[in-house]
Structure 1
């Protein structure tokens, strides 16, 4: 069964242990699915990358996945070469790979509602 947007929100909420985040806040709490996939962190960095065709999403190039997997430009706090930002969730345990894979699969499936 494919993940829903609400499943993704639950994963992200669990990743921060339901704590309030100071830097970019818990933006997923108030966004609709459409707002989430269009969201730009700090108004600059797109959270979700569109595919090269413009139809669907590119999970591997999405900053959401890069931030969770500590791939550049994320992972400065754990020594990732070329990283400018901390791995997310910052200051908390890394999200389990199976949960990241669920988010990846959701994006690859077109981010269903």
Structure 2
């Protein structure tokens, strides 16, 4: 389980080999934890979703997890029906499931600092 926001940043940075990336840039580099959980990609696509109980976040419905797992609306490049966007990180190897699971657990735990 990921223990801190800094660990999440490290996972995302490793996923892109610390390279500069295109369309939405490496947004995690400049955001605080609070800014990260409130961030909207392209100004309109929420990165994470609060759980219905209000305690923590709903990792399964968060676009961060959907993008990493190539679930609709992500995965156009890997054949996901109805997908509008590529799997993230686009043009790079998929994250290992254990890394995605660490991000999922971090979100489920309320995304601790």
TM-score (norm 2): 0.97
SS at match of 1:36: helix
* Aligned residue in 2 for 1:15: 15
RMSD: 1.0
SS at match of 1:94: coil
* Aligned residue in 2 for 1:31: 31
Unpaired runs of 5+ residues, structure 2, are: none
SS at match of 2:24: coil
State the aligned residue count: 113
* Aligned residue in 2 for 1:110: 110
Q: How many Å apart are 1:56 and its aligned residue?
A: 1.6
CA–CA separation in structure 1 for the residues paired with 2:10 and 2:96: 14
CA–CA separation in structure 2 for the residues paired with 1:12 and 1:55: 24
Q: How many Å apart are 1:2 and its aligned residue?
A: 4.9
Unpaired runs of 5+ residues, structure 1, are: none
CA–CA separation in structure 1 for the residues paired with 2:109 and 2:53: 15
CA–CA separation in structure 2 for the residues paired with 1:2 and 1:39: 19
Please give the residue correspondences for 1:1-113 in structure 2 after superposition, counting only pairs within 5 Å: 2-113=2-113
Note the alpha carbon deviations across 1:84-112, whole angstroms, 9 max, x for none: 00000000000000000000000001000
Q: How many Å apart are 1:3 and its aligned residue?
A: 1.4
